């Protein structure tokens, strides 16, 4: 595969190589605004949650999580790309400030809150569970029929959202075996560790021996990705022959693409068109590989990537 117009390096134990591909094919999808209820201490937060329906029966469920101080609108373009490829997409907005610690990024101890996010997927097969209720309500409000909730998932997180999906995957592994069996892989986009706590390290150390596919598209070290803290953690704690790719030029907002906004662009740079295509292509292709039971690998002696069963 060849991704023309983007410079990349392979993230592996000791290899650097170029990779390439083609942009995801466009198809119809439908965005449904909705909400999700998440217990928080003694109260319940009602958060915005966008659902994206594919044109036909979903091939699986993809949770797309935005980054720190961002919202689900900032990952809309990526969510639409995944829905166009045939996936049901769940994109919630999670708080970045909350006095009870119910936040996306760890600003004290957000693990009880992330446990509630994990519960969404642990109870996904329950038609009266919070995830199924959210989808049914969003579909009904838009005059659509909700599709059956898929039993297989891929988690995709950008920035601090990458740490959140890592931790939720860890919690499913340790406390929800049925849901864990349906988790097919993680796609991490320029991951960032929280300044406080050890959520990333704890999660990756637990996930490493499981063999769960975990791949990243990372940007060059910068202030907005805490100088590559999340990527360094992957290289340190995951013992895999292929960890993903690093864009040798780019911005932290590349994953947001056309869904970024003035604040994101002022603080973390204007997304670069070639990199937007790269991120969306790899995120979609890897998601498809995970659902198909394939594990993307990179041959360090070859400029092309190879998929092996």
Check whether 306 has a pLDDT greater than 90.
no
Q: Calculate mean pLDDT across residues 69-94.
A: 97
| Domains detected in the chain | 8-308 (3.40.50.1820)
Give, in order, the Cα–Cα distances in Å from 300 to each of 15, 185, 210, 236: 6, 22, 23, 19
Predicted structure pTM score: 0.90
Instruction: Determine whether 293 is exposed, middle or buried from the number of CB atoms within 10 Å of its CB (0-12, 13-18, 19+).
Output: exposed
Q: What are the two backbone dihedrals, phi and then psi, of residue 260, each rounded to the nearest 5 degrees?
A: -70, 175
Nearest-angstrom CA–CA distance, 130 and 121: 9
Query: How far, CA to CA in Å, does 165 sit from each of 1, 50, 303?
Result: 27, 17, 30
Separation CA 153–CA 131 (nearest Å): 13
How sure is the predictor about 299, in pLDDT bands with cuts at 50, 70 and 90?
very low
The closest alpha carbon to 218, from 240, 248, 261, 195, belongs to 248
CA distance 66 to 70: 6
Residue 154 phi, psi (nearest 5): -130, 135
Please give the pLDDT value at position 6.
Answer: 47
| Packed helices 199-207 and 229-237: angle between N→C axes, nearest 10 degrees | 30
Handedness of CA 244, 248, 252, 254 (dihedral sign): negative
Maximum Cα–Cα distance across the chain: 55
Measured between alpha carbons, how far is residue 146 from residues 50, 78, 101, 126 in Å? 13, 21, 33, 14
**Shortest CA distance to 218 belongs to which of 191, 178, 240?**
191
Contact between 62 and 154 under an 8 Å Cβ cutoff? The reply is: yes
Q: What tens digit of pLDDT does each residue of 49-61 get?
A: 999 999 999 999 9
Quote the CA–CA distance of 102 and 95 in Å, as a whole number.
7
Task: Of 132, 154, 163, 162, give the one whose Cα is nearest residue 51.
Answer: 132
Q: How far is CA 206 from the centre of its chain?
A: 18
Specify the pLDDT at position 8: 55
d(CA 73, CA 43) in angstroms, rounded, equals: 25
129-160 pLDDT tens trace: 999 999 999 999 999 999 999 999 999 999 99
The alpha helices in 61-110, defined as continuous H runs, are: 76-84
């Amino acid at each position: 595969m060849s991704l023309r117009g983007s410079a990349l390096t392979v993230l592996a134990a000791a290899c650097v190589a170029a990779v390439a591909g083609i942009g995801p094919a466009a198809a119809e999808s439908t965005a449904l605004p909705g909400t999700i209820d998440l217990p928080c201490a003694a109260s319940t937060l009602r958060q915005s949650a966008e659902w994206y329906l594919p044109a036909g029966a979903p091939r699986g469920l993809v949770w797309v999580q935005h980054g720190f101080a961002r919202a689900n609108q900032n990952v809309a373009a990526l969510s639409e790309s995944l829905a166009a490829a045939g996936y049901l997409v769940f994109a919630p907005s999670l708080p970045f400030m909350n006095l009870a610690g119910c936040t996306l990024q760890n600003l004290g101890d957000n693990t009880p809150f992330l446990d509630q996010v994990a519960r969404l997927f642990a109870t996904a097969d329950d038609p009266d569970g919070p995830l199924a209720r959210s989808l049914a309500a969003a579909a009904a409000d838009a005059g659509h029929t909700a599709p059956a909730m898929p039993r297989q998932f891929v988690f995709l997180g950008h920035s601090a959202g990458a740490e959140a999906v890592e931790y939720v995957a860890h919690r499913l592994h340790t406390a929800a075996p049925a849901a864990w069996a349906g988790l097919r892989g993680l796609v991490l986009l320029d991951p960032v560790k929280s300044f406080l706590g050890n959520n990333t390290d704890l999660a990756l150390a637990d996930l490493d021996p499981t063999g769960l596919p975990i791949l990243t598209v990372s940007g060059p070290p910068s202030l907005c990705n805490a100088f590559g803290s999340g990527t360094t953690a992957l290289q340190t704690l995951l013992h895999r022959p292929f960890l993903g790719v690093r864009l040798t030029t780019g911005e932290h907002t590349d994953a947001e693409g056309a869904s970024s906004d003035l604040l994101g662009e002022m603080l973390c740079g204007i997304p670069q068109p070639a990199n937007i295509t790269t991120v969306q292509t790899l995120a979609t292709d890897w998601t498809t590989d995970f659902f198909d039971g394939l594990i993307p690998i990179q041959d360090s002696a070859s400029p092309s990537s190879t998929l092996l069963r």
